[in-house]
């Protein structure tokens, strides 16, 4: 603990985003440049707790050594901070941008005061590492002769591949899309995560000896049984890509889209042609409604605003969260409180108010005589989600995005293998060894446990890699 009085001397001060009016006109990252003095002050607020809940199960799923690198940043020892960060996290440039920071919700300082700005410090460490040239390829010195196929190049697949390659195995990653990164590439828009960050890390992994194959849809244009036969182990890291739909009358109307279809098409067109090819779902001059909150809903809001939508509303089924923790939401649990994310602030900048409408249930999509979406009928609900009579309302809408989470993985791979699924439709595998019912086949992260955070996917990829290495070699040195 470099500065015992740091948390008394300095208030929590989060690094600001770029001005909302400025960032609305582009798809560049919303973040501002790092300020070393500011970050050192914020790092000094860390109390180096005897029991650091920030890196516990309630805090950081990958158990980042947070007090250690906070103290090193305070002391200006950035290179050592980077080494500490990479001990537990393969991709801090991703988590430092897109993780909701459960570590801050579990920060001990947060019991009585605003918590440490852990996420800002993490992002600054890795950005400094790349800027200084400290992050370089580090291929293994020897190879084991074992071959592992990883299906899916999202955060789980990439972290597993990195760890298995470190152990000396020959790793090939198969990705069904035309670019690598999975959810990171097409599910998270550029303003939150520049795709050059992903490409930079993937190139390092290539330089370390990992092979990547794109447009490889295992189970369709790549025979999954041949893949199993040709490798010593296969890890399924396909994610939970089957979205929750809203099957109410009028669902077939032209203009109702799943959120991920909207975001994926936009990012692909942006990368392919800077949106000049028109191969995306445009919100320009449209009355837009986003159904569902969370990060994906916010990303739909931000993307629609950048297209130039005419109006924007965000429906949330649940009541507005409280400003402070409720009695049934104690520390160190994730604080379920009212937050204003980047998209909400941008909507308020453009239209004058927060776009969210709470305690509202969708009843019917409306369409014109040509089958085009024209509106939606809703009803208000109480805290028990029961409809309130007499609160029906019709909203004008030309474009509606459904952002209500994901249910389970798609099932063509497990059907081809005759592999078991659990009662929730996920690939059946335990966290003890990540083994599925098919020999040599493992499953990890969202396809095994259901939709979750990027940081938990990285954790499961690392843990699955350790168990695969243990099975292949009889023991493991992987963390």
pLDDT at 1: 64
Task: Please tell me the pTM assigned to this model.
Answer: 0.95
Q: What's the pLDDT tens digit per position in 97-155? A: 999 999 999 999 999 999 999 999 999 999 999 999 999 999 999 999 999 999 999 99
Both tokens assigned to 223: 């025979």
Cβ atoms of 280 and 307 closer than 8 Å: no
Q: pLDDT per residue over 305-317, tens digit each?
A: 999 999 999 999 9
Q: What would the pLDDT profile of 215-270 be if each residue is shown by its tens digit?
A: 999 999 999 999 999 999 999 999 999 999 999 999 999 999 999 999 999 999 99
- Give the chain's domains with CATH numbers: 6-131 (1.10.1060.10), 147-241+407-473 (3.50.50.60), 245-404 (3.50.50.60)
**Residue 4: its pLDDT value, please?**
86
Span 348-381, pLDDT tens digits: 999 999 999 999 999 999 999 999 999 999 999 9
- Residues of the chain with pLDDT > 90, as a percent, come to 97
The lowest-confidence range among 3-7, 130-134, 362-366, 406-410 is 3-7
433 contacts: CB under 8 Å, gap ≥ 6: 442, 467, 471
Which helix (H) or strand (E) segment is 71 a member of?
A: helix 66-74
Length of the chain: 479
**What would the mean pLDDT of 446-451 be, rounded to a whole number?**
97
Is residue 263 within 8 Å of 297, Cβ to Cβ? no
Are the beta carbons of 94 and 155 closer than 8 angstroms? yes
Encode 213-269 in three state secondary structure: ECCCCECCCECHHHHHHCCCEEEECCCCCEECCCCCCCCCCECEEEHHHHHHHHHHH
């Amino acid at each position: 603990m470099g500065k015992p009085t740091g948390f008394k001397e300095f208030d929590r001060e989060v690094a600001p985003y770029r001005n909302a009016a400025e960032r609305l006109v582009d798809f560049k990252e919303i973040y501002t440049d790092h300020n070393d003095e500011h970050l050192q002050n914020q790092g000094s607020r860390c109390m180096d707790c005897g029991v650091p809940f920030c890196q516990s199960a309630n805090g950081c799923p990958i158990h980042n050594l947070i007090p250690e690198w906070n103290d090193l940043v305070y002391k200006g020892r950035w290179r050592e901070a980077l080494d500490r960060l990479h001990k537990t996290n393969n991709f801090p440039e991703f988590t430092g941008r897109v993780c909701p920071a459960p570590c801050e919700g579990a920060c001990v300082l947060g019991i009585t005061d605003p918590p440490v700005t852990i996420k800002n410090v993490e992002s600054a460490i890795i950005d400094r590492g790349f800027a200084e040239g400290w992050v370089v390829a580090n291929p293994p010195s020897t190879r084991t002769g074992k071959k592992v196929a990883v299906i899916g190049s999202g955060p789980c697949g990439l972290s597993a591949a990195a760890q298995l390659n470190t152990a000396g195995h020959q790793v090939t990653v198969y990705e069904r899309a035309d670019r690598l990164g999975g959810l990171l590439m097409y599910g998270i828009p550029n303003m939150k995560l520049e795709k050059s960050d992903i490409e930079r890390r993937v190139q390092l992994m290539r330089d370390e000896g990992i092979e990547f194959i794109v447009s490889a849809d295992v189970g369709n244009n790549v025979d999954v049984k041949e893949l199993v036969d040709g490798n010593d182990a296969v890890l399924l890291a396909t994610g939970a890509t089957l979205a929750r739909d809203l099957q109410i009358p009028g669902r077939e109307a032209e203009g109702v889209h799943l959120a991920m279809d909207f975001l994926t098409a936009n990012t692909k067109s942006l990368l392919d042609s800077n949106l000049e090819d028109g191969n995306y779902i445009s919100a320009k001059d449209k009355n837009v409604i986003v159904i569902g909150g969370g990060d994906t809903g916010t990303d739909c809001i931000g993307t629609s605003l950048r297209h130039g939508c005419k109006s924007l509303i965000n429906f949330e089924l649940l009541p507005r969260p409280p400003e402070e923790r409720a009695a049934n939401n104690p520390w160190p649990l994730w604080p379920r409180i009212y937050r204003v994310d980047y998209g909400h602030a941008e909507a308020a900048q453009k239209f004058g108010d927060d776009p969210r409408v709470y305690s509202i249930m969708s009843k019917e999509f409306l369409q014109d005589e040509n089958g085009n979406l024209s509106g939606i009928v809703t009803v208000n609900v109480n805290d028990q989600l029961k409809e309130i009579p007499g609160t029906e309302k019709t909203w004008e809408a030309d474009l509606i995005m459904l952002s209500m989470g994901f249910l389970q993985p798609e099932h063509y791979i497990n059907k081809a293998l005759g592999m078991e699924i659990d009662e929730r439709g996920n690939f059946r595998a335990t966290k003890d060894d990540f083994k599925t019912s098919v020999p040599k086949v493992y499953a990890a992260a969202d396809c095994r446990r259901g939709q979750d955070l990027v940081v938990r996917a990285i954790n499961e990829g690392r843990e699955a890699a350790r168990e695969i290495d243990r099975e292949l070699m009889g023991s493991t040195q992987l963390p």
